[in-house]
């Protein structure tokens, strides 16, 4: 069975600093996809970034980047120059074709403090 | 912009009532999903649908059913609501892209309380 684990239920960071959210997963699949989704307070969940397992290069989207360590089955999210609008619940998610569905981690609640 | 709407943001029902949660998407997406979100458990998939009148069980389908009569609408039904179904319910949709997953677009959620 595929599992996704986010071991940090809550984190906080000062505005303008950098923070890293951790995610590990367990799978025997070789071809899969990983995602980070963001759920701001009382707002809709949106995709932050995605990574294809066959790509060695880490994905980057503006201030958001990932550290994908396939052998270690680790997929962390780094947020640079944190902004107040980054305050949200962040979910790591895993997808493989035979499963046909996203498997989510428990979530990490990030607070950015002024 | 993709828009996924859900019929209610907040809903309070009594034990034993039949509850309908409606979800509508406006981007002609083939795939639609229902999740429940609980603290410490993340999102868990209840049911999903790849096409009109088609449905597949997710990880926690017990106590729920779904209906998809039109491509844009996916309904979640609680036949006899129970207190352990108090939760946040999220709907999502995505297009079919063959071998790779498309981005899922989420609705705002319905916070259901069963008394």
Report the candidate in A79, A66, A3, A18 with the shortest Cα–Cα distance to residue B42. Answer: A3
Cβ-Cβ contacts under 8 Å, B49 against chain A: none
Q: What is the pLDDT of residue B38?
A: 95
3-class secondary structure for chain B? CCCEEECCCEEEECCCCCEEEEEEECCCCCEEEEEEEECCCEEEEEEEECCCCCCEECCCCCCEEEEEEECCEEEEEECCCCHHHCEEEEEEEECCCCCCCCCCEECCCEEEEEC
CA distances for A27 relative to A32, A55, A56, B40, angstroms: 9, 17, 18, 21
Write out pLDDT tens, residues A19-46: 999 999 999 888 899 999 999 998 899 9
| Residue A98 or residue B103, greater confidence | B103
- Within 10 angstroms of residue A58's Cβ, the number of other Cβ atoms is 15
> What is the C-alpha to C-alpha distance for residues A32 and B70, in angstroms, rounded to an integer?
31
pLDDT band at B101 (very low <50, low <70, confident <90, very high): confident
User: Are B33 and A43 in contact (CB < 8 Å)?
Assistant: no
Write out pLDDT tens, residues B18-74: 999 999 999 999 999 999 999 999 999 999 999 898 999 999 999 999 999 999 999
Please determine, for residue A99, whether its predicted confidence score (pLDDT) is greater than 80.
no
| Chain A nearest C-alpha distance from B62 (Å) | 18
| Chain A nearest C-alpha distance from B109 (Å) | 7
Report the candidate in A7, A8, A95 with the shortest Cα–Cα distance to residue A51. Answer: A95
> What is the C-alpha to C-alpha distance for residues A57 and A17, in angstroms, rounded to an integer?
24
Which residue among A46, A100, A106 sits closest to B42, beta carbon to beta carbon? A106
Cβ-Cβ contacts under 8 Å, A91 against chain B: 42-43
Report the candidate in A96, A53, A97 with the shortest Cα–Cα distance to residue A75. Answer: A53
Q: What is the pLDDT of residue B2?
A: 66
Q: For chain B, what percent of residues have pLDDT higher than 70?
A: 97
> What is the C-alpha to C-alpha distance for residues B57 and B36, in angstroms, rounded to an integer?
13
């Amino acid at each position: 069975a595929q599992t996704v684990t986010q071991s940090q239920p809550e984190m906080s960071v000062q505005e303008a600093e950098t923070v890293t959210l951790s995610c590990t997963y367990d799978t025997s699949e070789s071809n899969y996809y990983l995602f980070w989704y963001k759920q701001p307070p009382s707002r809709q969940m949106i995709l932050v970034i995605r990574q294809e397992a066959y790509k060695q290069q880490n994905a980057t989207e503006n201030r958001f980047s990932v550290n994908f360590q396939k052998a270690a089955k680790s997929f962390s999210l780094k947020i640079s120059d944190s902004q107040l609008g980054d305050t949200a619940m962040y979910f790591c998610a895993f997808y493989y074709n035979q499963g046909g569905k996203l498997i989510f981690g428990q979530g990490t609640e990030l607070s950015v403090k002024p | 912009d993709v828009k996924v709407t859900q019929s209610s943001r907040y809903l309070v029902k009594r034990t034993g009532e039949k509850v309908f949660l409606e979800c509508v998407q406006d981007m002609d997406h083939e795939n639609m999903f229902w999740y429940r979100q609980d603290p410490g458990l993340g999102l868990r998939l209840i049911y999903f649908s790849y096409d009109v009148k088609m449905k597949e069980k997710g990880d926690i389908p017990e106590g729920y059913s779904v209906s998809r009569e039109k491509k844009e609408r996916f309904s979640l039904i609680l036949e006899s609501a129970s207190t352990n179904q108090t939760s946040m319910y999220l709907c999502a949709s995505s297009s079919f892209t063959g071998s790779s997953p498309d981005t899922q677009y989420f609705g705002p959620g319905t916070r259901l309380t069963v008394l």
